[in-house]
A and B are shown apart, each in its own frame.
Chain A
């Protein structure tokens, strides 16, 4: 990671603090970077958090200090210097005017068909929103309120619904789960909270997009989503617009709780800055995502990952309740020097539990793309079933695709199926499309979308259309 060093990061943060008038804030002046108990107390105090949450953070910090950064993933990067990062939620870099926004970013958003207003909103340029978007957001909130659905920032939830947060926080991803989860638990900035009451089917896709301007999500995002008995929700995280961030390290935690007979569909499009063509810069995305399924419930993860320099991410399901179902559908694209190590864990604890894993890796440039999956069948999980299919598509001869499937089966009644393929994008396929009038880029996009169809089909409609465009853009000039 030459080029964008932690020193530069520090400089940038400093200058920003100045720019945003933080120098008047005595507390932040005292401890601009670094991590210790004092910093955690300040974070918690600034957010006016209750004592139990401060304790939660402090405990996590202790746990984190005992841990070492994991090295088993098939990725190489220079480890972040944790004492040189600012753990204050620095505001997102705002552009003074539309003219200051990176032209490349504008071009990408144009290609994605994002409207001018939305582009400004996404890049944080101050803008008077057209009435339309304001009223959409308002009516959206009214509708949720009618059904007693809670959908707000994590900080708000701590203030307004502390009992729910306290009951579920850390129950799916315990503090000690892994290095980054522990770090997140100690210093998380903000994120989303969602609660669907018993028997309620959420009538619309819940999207963090609606909240994007209300609170900067920051680098240590925390999401907690609880679907009470018999409820249903489809949740969308991220957006297809390219997201640049001055923070190099992102370590989010997402916890899902599906109580009896509930269903959660969680879709992600991740498009953080991947670094430039030489592999400089780019976000490290170390995410812990996990859901717990109670009796007869279902959690379905769908992800389209195109961004970040280094991705480390395994959305998982703990199938605790009998007859529960876990699904993982993933498309991970790496180009240039990107590295992704992603997959899932399906932990079968209950009887008649079922899991499906479909992973489509696409590697281009000099990138490395790994699938890592664990299927674990516990002794009491009678009649568990898993179907895993992981396919890799190579766009060049210089990239790498790897699969690391792990199976731990302790119950003989289990039925496990595993299929894996690796193929290179066919020049004859591209030529065939071109001969019918499609440009090379269109041809690649069509072929890749066809290849990912099973996963894209799982995304909500509008999201799927955007994701298709995103795949095409991520793979521009990628065949070699």
Chain B
């Protein structure tokens, strides 16, 4: 039995400002070594799930629990969750002008290391790591030294997310529509990168609208998220079925 890395039970969450419920009793258990795909109609609450799990402001958890590696994380700040090994590849990566990607990642990496009481990484080792990991997703070396996401194309931003994931080596990675905006070649490259990063000690959650991604990164489970709940779970064939029939038949 491999161990449970992420355990979401009966999660209810609403938008703080409006009190509008988005997640309505969601359950999801992710074990080490697994790949889960979450699909579902626009506005179903997929990104909200990613936000709530990673601790973004503006959402209130009204019921339920989220455990990572056996420990409750709902009380932790977003950065503490990240330091515990949670990574979110954003659906819309954010630009940070004036801050180089490299400086950003080195700061992040050393913060995480400090939290884990490890020595900070030397400049030399860091640069070697940057070279290795950027090759993994075929990220142009120039992009690594440019300001974080500033002026990156849509596809470059997505690639950069996976590059960051490679650098930070998370236990649980949630990839929110990383495939959208990627051209066919880029999709293959990024998927291959994710596959290389995947091992028996970590887990990947793919939020996607397209079963095509799942041809490259084969999921162990496919879930359908609709109206704030997981309404159906199956294996890879479920994705094919959804592609064919849409979501209506589930109701």
Give bound CA distance, A451 to B99, whole Å: 8
Distance in angstroms between the alpha carbons of A440 and B97 in the assembled complex: 17
Give which listed residue, B93, B95, B168, contacts A437 with CB less than 8 A.
B168
Contact B96 A446 (CB under 8 A): yes
Best-surrounded residue of B57, B83, B98, B111 (most CB of chain A within 10 A): B98
When the two chains form their complex, are residues B93 and A438 in contact, meaning their CB atoms are under 8 A apart?
Answer: no
Task: Name the residue on B nearest A360 (C-beta).
Answer: B98
Let me know if B54 and A435 touch, CB within 8 A: yes
What is the CB-to-nearest-CB distance from A452 to chain B, in angstroms, rounded to a whole number?
7
A438, B79: Cβ atoms closer than 8 Å: yes
In angstroms, Cα B164 to Cα A437, docked, is 12
The interface residues of chain A lying within 8 Å CB-to-CB of B88 are 435
Is B112 part of the contact surface with A, judged by Cβ < 8 Å?
yes
Given A426-B94, A429-B94, A447-B99: A437 and B54 interface contact (C-beta under 8 Å): no
B164 touching A436, Cβ below 8 Å: yes
A441 nearest in chain B by CB position:
B79
List B37-95 residues whose CB lies under 8 Å from chain A. Answer: 54-57, 77-79, 82-83, 87-88, 90, 93-95
Given contacts A427-B57, A449-B99, A453-B98, contact A442 B77 (CB under 8 A): no
Is B108 an interface residue, CB under 8 A from the partner?
yes
Given A427-B57, A442-B111, A446-B104: A435 and B98 interface contact (C-beta under 8 Å): no
Q: Is A408 in contact with chain B by the CB < 8 A criterion?
A: no
Q: Taking the complex as formed, is A434 at the interface, i.e. its CB lies under 8 A from any CB of chain B? A: yes
Candidates B78, B97, B115; contact of A431 at CB < 8 Å: B78
Map CB proximity to B onto A310-345 as digits: 1 under 8 Å, 0 otherwise.
000000000000000000000000000000000000
Q: Give which listed residue, A428, A436, A446, A454, contacts B168 with CB less than 8 A.
A: A436
Contact in complex: B77, A446 (CB < 8 Å) = no
* The residue from B55, B94, B98, B109 contacting A449, defined by CB atoms under 8 A apart: B98
Nearest A residue to B97, CB-CB: A450
Contacting A432 at CB < 8 Å: which of B77, B83, B93?
Answer: B93
> Bound state CA distance, A429 and B97, in angstroms?
10
Residues in B whose Cβ lies below 8 Å from that of A440: 77, 79
Contact with A along B177-207 (1 / 0, CB 8 A): 0000000000000000000000000000000
**Which residue, of A431, A434, A435, A453, has the highest number of chain B Cβ atoms within 10 A?**
A435
Residue among B78, B111, B147 with the highest chain A CB neighbour number at 10 A = B78
Complex: A433 Cα to B109 Cα, angstroms = 12
B79 in contact with A450 (CB, 8 Å): no
A434 CA to B105 CA, complexed, in Å: 12
A413 within 8 A of B: no
Complex CA–CA separation, A41 to B55 (angstroms): 67
Assembly CA distance A29 to B56 (angstroms): 64
CA gap between A451 and B150 in the complex, in Å: 12
A437 touches B99 (CB 8 A): no
Residues in chain B near residue A443, CB distance under 8 A: 79
B101-121 to A contact mask, C-beta < 8 Å, 1/0: 001110111011001000000
Task: Note all chain A residues with C-beta closer than 8 A to B164.
Answer: 436
Q: Which residues of B have CB within 8 Å of A450?
A: 96-99, 147
Q: Which residues of A contact B147 (CB under 8 A)?
A: 450
CA distance A348 to B97 in the complex (A): 32
Measured as residues with beta carbon below 8 angstroms from the partner, the interface class of chain B is 20 to 34
Contact B94 A432 (CB under 8 A): yes
The dominant DSSP class at the A interface is helix
Provide the A402-431 mask, 1 if CB < 8 A to any CB of B, else 0. Answer: 000000000000000000000000111101
In whole angstroms, how far apart are the Cα atoms of A451 and B79 in the complex? 22
A439 at the interface (CB under 8 A from B): yes
* A428 pairs with B94, CB closer than 8 A: yes
Q: How far is the CB of B96 from chain A (nearest CB, A)?
A: 6
Q: Are A432 and B96 in contact (CB under 8 A)?
A: yes
Whether the Cβ atoms of A451 and B94 lie closer than 8 Å is no
Contact of B78 among A429, A435, A442 (CB under 8 A): A435
Report yes or no: A442 in contact with B98, Cβ–Cβ below 8 A. no
For A, the interface residue count at a CB cutoff of 8 angstroms equals 24
Contact A434 B98 (CB under 8 A): no
Contact of B108 among A428, A436, A452, A453 (CB under 8 A): A436
Query: A435–B98 Cα gap in the complex (Å)?
Result: 19
Instruction: Assess whether B98 is in contact with A431, with CB atoms less than 8 Å apart.
Output: no
Nearest B residue to A451 via CB reads B98
Of the listed residues B87, B99, B115, the one surrounded by the most CB atoms of chain A closer than 10 A to its CB is B99
Min CB distance B192 to A, Å, is 23
Q: Are A437 and B111 in contact (CB under 8 A)?
A: yes
Question: Which single residue of chain B is at the shortest CB-CB distance from A426?
Answer: B94
Residues of B within 8 A of A442 (CB): 79, 107, 111
A451 to B78, CA, bound (A): 23
Q: Does B111 contact A438, Cβ atoms closer than 8 Å?
A: yes
Closest residue on chain B to residue A432 by CB atoms = B94
- Bound Cα distance from A432 to B105, whole angstroms: 12
* A422 CB to nearest chain B CB (Å): 14
On chain B, the residues within 8 Å of A435 by CB distance are 54, 78-79, 82, 87-88, 90
Given contacts A426-B94, A451-B97, A453-B98, contact A437 B108 (CB under 8 A): yes
Q: A431-B57, A446-B107 are in contact. Are A439 and B94 (CB under 8 A)?
A: no
Instruction: Give per-residue flags for A105-127: 1 if the beta carbon is below 8 A from chain B beta carbons, else 0.
Output: 00000000000000000000000
B56 with A431: CB separation less than 8 A: yes
Expressed in whole angstroms, the Cα–Cα distance for A443 and B57 within the complex equals 15
Say whether A436 contacts B98, CB under 8 Å.
no
Instruction: Return the contact of A434 from the options B77, B96, B103, B107 (Cβ within 8 A).
Output: B77
B52 nearest CB across to chain A (Å): 12
By the criterion CB–CB under 8 Å, are A437 and B83 in contact? yes
In the complex, A438→B113 CA distance in Å? Answer: 11
How far, in Å, is A333 (CB) from chain B's closest CB? 16
Chain B, residue nearest A447 (CB) = B96
Given the complex, which residues of A lie within 8 Å of B96, measured CB to CB?
429, 432-433, 446-447, 450
| CB-CB nearest in chain A for B84 | A437
Residues of B within 8 A of A446 (CB): 96, 99, 103-104, 107
- Alpha-carbon gap, A436 to B80, bound state (A): 9
**A439 and B90 within 8 A (CB):** no
- Shortest Cβ gap from B133 to chain A (Å): 14
Chain A residues lying within 8 Å of B79, measured Cβ to Cβ, are: 433-435, 437-440, 442-443
Which residues does chain A contribute within 8 Å of B78, judged by CB atoms?
431, 434-435
8 contacts between A and B (CB under 8 A): A432-B93, A436-B82, A438-B111, A442-B111, A446-B107, A450-B96, A450-B97, A450-B99
Given A432-B93, A433-B79, A449-B99; 6 other pairs, CB 8 A cutoff: A429-B95, A432-B94, A434-B77, A437-B79, A446-B99, A450-B147
Query: Which 4 A/B pairs are nearest by Cβ-Cβ distance?
Result: A450-B98, A450-B99, A453-B98, A434-B78
